Amino acid sequence: MSFEKGTYGSLEKFTLTNKNGMRAEFVSAGACILSLSVPDKDGNFRDVVLGYANGEDYLKPGPCHGAVCGRVANRIENAEFELCGKTYKTNVNMKGLHTLHGGAEEPLSRRIFKEKSHTDNSVTLTALLPDGENGFPGNMTVDVTYTLSDENGLKISYLATCDTDTVINLTNHAYFNLKGHGNGNIHDHIMTMYSDAYAPLAENGMVFGALYPVTAEFDFRSPKAIGKDIDNDMEQLNIAGGYDHAWVTRGDGKNLVKCTEVYCPESGINMTVKTNSPTILLYTGNNLPGVDYPAKDGATYARRDALCLETGFYPNCLKFPQFNQGRLYKGETFNYETEYAFDVK
């Protein structure tokens, strides 16, 4: 197991390598996962996350490749929320009405993180979000720890505190393709989602406070190819142009529980997701590539060339008190974890 520090353009780069040769690289912008090289069924290593060729592109608006998103990841309807009897207005950056992934101006996904500490198998990166930025209250400190195990698991631990009552929802926005990035779409990936319910979308793309039992297109309780139903003429799929929905997990904020598996028959790589968060959002890259920045290794990305599995709170949870999520009161600590573990079949 080893830790190395270097550069990626103007950014700091941090590399963890385990005894099996699995390598995870991160950059200081957005605490982004730059690369994740895992062995396939033939013992060859494939980088299974999408990313940019140049470090500076991680500082520009785009699809949040590998980034930690916040201070409220996902959506805030009408760019406002109530907290302790006061209404706050947040930065608008979605359809001219809503807030997405923390807003357009200096969101967490483009913030420069500093190294706080490291060991041979982990690195902790930290950032400070000032009071009032993008409309959010309080000075918030965010620590993100990446830990690589010799069992080929990458754990992400989030720790955040604030000097006043505030709101929060952190996630990682890595785009995965288990064939290796730049190797076509993910329609052939086989997914199992250990969930009986999901959060449907209204026509405006916002979660509207309901939970639906999984049926037909949204039932992944038995392994199913992601592309099997994705283009069906079904209201929920039409709204998002594919999957962009959150499924309920058994996460209770304490112990990690298995919520999702994704398997690629071509590479033999299997990814298991465990989390203590209450939901996991599947996004099938419906709007890729999103920007014209060059991809790493000379690759090109097209629509549905990757999937995101974003653990966290319910999208748009700040609007719905029944979810009881997304508030962080002074003196409390936000502490959630997710692990992406890899093996072969």
CATH number for position 138: 2.70.98.10
Let me know: does 179 contact 266? Beta carbons within 8 Å: yes
- How confident is the model at residue 105, as a pLDDT? 85
Q: Considering the chain, what percentage of its residues have pLDDT values greater than 70?
A: 100
Q: How does residue 297 score in pLDDT terms, banded at 50, 70 and 90? A: very high
- How confident is the model at residue 264, as a pLDDT? 98
Does the structure show a pLDDT above 90 at 321? no
- How confident is the model at residue 106, as a pLDDT? 85
Copy the structure tokens of residue 329.
Answer: 């009161």
- How confident is the model at residue 203, as a pLDDT? 94
Average pLDDT of the residues in 147-171 = 98
Chain mean pLDDT for the chain:
97
Q: Considering the chain, what percentage of its residues have pLDDT values greater than 90?
A: 98
Average pLDDT of the residues in 68-84 = 97
Average pLDDT of the residues in 74-94 = 96
d(CA 101, CA 33): 17
Does the structure show a pLDDT above 90 at 322? no
Does the structure show a pLDDT above 90 at 55? yes
Average pLDDT of the residues in 280-293 = 96
- How confident is the model at residue 38, as a pLDDT? 98
Q: What is the pTM of this model?
A: 0.97
CB-based burial label for 20 (10 Å; 0-12, 13-18, 19+): middle
Name the DSSP letter for residue 202: -
Average pLDDT of the residues in 85-95 = 95
Where does 41-177 show beta strands of DSSP type E?
Answer: 45-47, 68-69, 75-76, 80-83, 86-89, 99-100, 114-118, 122-129, 140-148, 153-162, 166-167, 171-172
Catalytic center residues: 173, 310
Q: Which amino acid is at 336?
A: Y
Contacts of 188 (CB under 8 A, 6+ apart): 225, 226, 227, 264, 265, 266
Q: How does residue 186 score in pLDDT terms, banded at 50, 70 and 90? A: very high
Q: How does residue 333 score in pLDDT terms, banded at 50, 70 and 90? A: very high
Q: What are the residues facing 257 on neighbouring strands?
A: 275
Neighbour count for residue 225 (Cβ, 10 Å)? 16
Domain range for 136? 2-344
How many folded domains does the chain comprise? Answer: 1
- 257: phi then psi, degrees, rounded to nearest 5: -130, 145
- How confident is the model at residue 328, as a pLDDT? 97
pLDDT digits (tens, 9 = 90+) for 212-256: 999 999 999 999 999 999 999 999 999 999 999 999 999 999 999
Q: How does residue 125 score in pLDDT terms, banded at 50, 70 and 90? A: very high
